[in-house]
Chain A
Amino acid sequence: MSFPVAFALGAVVAPPDAIAATAIARRVGLPRRLVTILEGESLVNDATAITCLRIAIAAIAGTVTAAQATVGFLIAALGGVVVGLVVALIVIPIRVRVTQPVFDTAISLLVPLAAYLPAELLSIAGFHGSGVIAVVTAGLILGHKSPVIQSGQSRLSERVNWATIQFLLENTVFLMIGLQARRIDRGQL
């Protein structure tokens, strides 16, 4: 196994699942600080792992040197943070003016893709920004600012809606992973 392939494998197995970690943490009663670190880490490691994986794949194709890979990682991370920041700065004044919970929640549905797509389209020296880092950045800022920019009703509504979306998507992914078994078994992946 060459180094880039090993690196790609490392990036694939790097991000542990936060749900599993917190479920066990709750059962054994881990200190809150540890849980925070676990959750925070699992939030950021998806982003870094995907970025690492992409660069590793480019390196497997034989087009990237070590220096370029480092630059690529930095561009992806910084580009993602900047795009996420810009999206949050655009959304904050809009949300301050919007008071109806329905509109507010509808705006929040736009944010993930509004942060993801521009970051992925951003290209500096052939390297793309990281959409996932942009989404996490925008989400962290908006979540942090929510007591200031949203009414209580809007916050409740947004929280419930996003909890439902998260529940459905998270569990659908697990079901769909299981459903791929026959395809994997027949080598159709």
Chain B
Amino acid sequence: MLSPVTGSIKNSILVEERGQRIGHGGTWQARQIGVVRVQPDRHLTLPVTEDHGSLVVAAAASLLGRWRRAARCGVRSASQRAAEYVAVVECRGLASTWSSRHEMRLPPACSTAADSRSFTSAEVSKVDPSGSPKAVTDPILTHCRDPRHAPGWKHGNVTVAISILALVATVLAVTALANRIRFSAPLLLMLVGIGLSFLPRIPIPELSSELVLIGFLPPLLYAAAIRTSVIDFRANRRSIAQLSGAARRRHCLGRWPDHLAASCP
């Protein structure tokens, strides 16, 4: 759950393609609004969070258009059904034409008041990533900005706390059970996780690569590293280096086929 939507949007968007940052527009007042990834099949994906509106898609499309030197790029239509937000992005570039459809779920608080309605392209095209930062009124965001409807307002932080509590409690219970029945704890945890994920009404925390790389990996590696004996490590460094790095590098990078390397511009 994200913090409540407050303040104005200054056409904030970061567009990534295959891990490369290809476009960036403006700043979100407090934080990045989100990362739009362009998939190899030219579909845009964005993290499905509550406070993304049509403007994110529009800004992404526009930035993409600029990057691809597209002749025309924009949101063809955007509409809101009961609890879904749908935007169809169409981009006509010099090299390619593609379109993409997005569906995102709105938080219940925001969807209750919103009847089935459509946004005109004029409404959506208010977002101009190349222009100067200006406040944009997105129908959904305006609605959500009302503190009574804001996702994460009051309830959001409690949900995060409950999620963490539930995760840790489940981990403890399942690990204890695994120890008792002499079963592999990681395996049992994964099975329990798979089972839980198919239950309705359970919010699933997103396991993003950023979370793993910054939140999980450094502490885990540090914990493992401080317990490792450098003396043993040094005594076996030849085998360790060969198994983990040197061999892989020698076998793969060193012999990167020339014809394949040449195909990479």
Binding site for B on A (CB under 8 A): 2-4, 7, 10, 14, 17-20, 23, 33, 36-37, 39-48, 50, 52, 54, 57-67, 69-70, 73, 77, 108, 111-113, 115-116, 131-132, 135-144, 146, 158-159, 162-163, 165-183, 185, 188
Task: Choose from A23, A48, A116, A172 the contact partner of B218 (Cβ within 8 Å).
Answer: A116
Known: A14-B248, A48-B245. A178 touches B193 (CB 8 A): yes
A37 CB contacts on chain B under 8 angstroms = 236, 239-240, 243
Instruction: Tell me the bound Cα distance from A44 to B247 in angstroms.
Output: 13
With contacts A52-B248, A177-B193, A181-B198 taken as known, whether A46 is within 8 angstroms of B205 at the C-beta atoms is no
In the complex, the chain B residue whose C-beta lies closest to that of A180 is B207
Residues in chain A near residue B237, CB distance under 8 A:
40
**B180 in the interface (beta carbon within 8 A):** no
User: Beyond the given A170-B186, A172-B216, A177-B190, could you list 17 further A-B residue pairs with CB under 8 A, ordered by the A residue number?
Assistant: A3-B257, A18-B224, A36-B233, A37-B240, A41-B244, A112-B218, A112-B221, A139-B222, A162-B223, A168-B171, A169-B219, A171-B171, A172-B168, A175-B167, A176-B167, A176-B207, A179-B207
Residues of B within 8 A of A167 (CB): 175
> Chain B 167-211, CB within 8 Å of chain A: the 1/0 string?
110110011000000001111011111111110000011110000
Contact A183 B197 (CB under 8 A): yes
Q: Which A residue's beta carbon lies closest to that of B254?
A: A70
Check if B222 sits within 8 Å of A112, measured CB to CB: yes
A-B contact pairs, 26 of them (CB 8 A): A10-B252, A19-B186, A20-B184, A40-B240, A41-B239, A43-B221, A48-B249, A61-B19, A66-B253, A112-B222, A115-B218, A132-B221, A135-B222, A143-B226, A169-B219, A171-B175, A173-B216, A174-B185, A175-B189, A175-B193, A177-B190, A178-B189, A179-B193, A180-B207, A181-B193, A188-B48
Rank and list the top 9 A-B pairs by shortest CB-CB distance, nearest first: A178-B193, A139-B225, A66-B256, A143-B226, A112-B218, A45-B244, A144-B230, A166-B223, A66-B261
B265 at interface by CB-CB < 8 Å: yes
Contact status B221-A139, CB under 8 Å: yes
Within 8 A of A (CB), among B125-181: 167-168, 170-171, 174-175
B244 pairs with A2, CB closer than 8 A: no
What range describes how many residues of B lie at the interface? 35 or more
Whether B222 and A182, one on each chain, are in contact in the complex, defined by CB atoms closer than 8 angstroms, is no
Question: Within the complex, which residue of A20, A116, A142, A188 is in contact with B226, where a contact is CB–CB below 8 Å?
Answer: A142
- B96 lies within 8 A of chain A by Cβ: no
Q: With A40-B228, A178-B193 known to touch, is A171 a contact of B256 (CB < 8 Å)?
A: no
A173/B226 in contact, CB under 8 A: no
CA distance A44 to B228 in the complex (A): 11
B residues near A14, Cβ cutoff 8 Å: 248
Residue numbers of B with Cβ under 8 A of A are: 17-20, 48, 167-168, 170-171, 174-175, 184-187, 189-198, 204-207, 212-214, 216-233, 235-237, 239-241, 243-245, 248-249, 252-254, 256-258, 260-261, 263-265
Name which of A66, A108, A185 has the most chain B CB atoms within 10 A of its CB. A66
Give complex CA distance A72, B249 in Å.
12
A43-B228, A73-B253, A168-B171 known; A173 and B212 CB under 8 Å? yes
CB distance from B180 to the nearest CB of A (A): 15
A172 to B185, CA, bound (A): 11
* Nearest-Cβ distance from residue B107 to partner chain A, whole angstroms: 17
Chain A positions within 8 Å of B186 at CB level: 17, 19-20, 170-171, 174
CA distance A61 to B248 in the complex (A): 21
Contact: B222 with A138, CB < 8 Å? yes
Tell me whether B226 and A171 are in contact (CB under 8 A): no
Chain A residues within 8 Å of B240, by CB: 37, 40-41, 44
CB distance from A22 to the nearest CB of B (A): 11
Which residue of the partner chain A has the closest CB to B20? Answer: A61
Q: Chain A nearest CB: distance from B236 CB in Å? A: 5
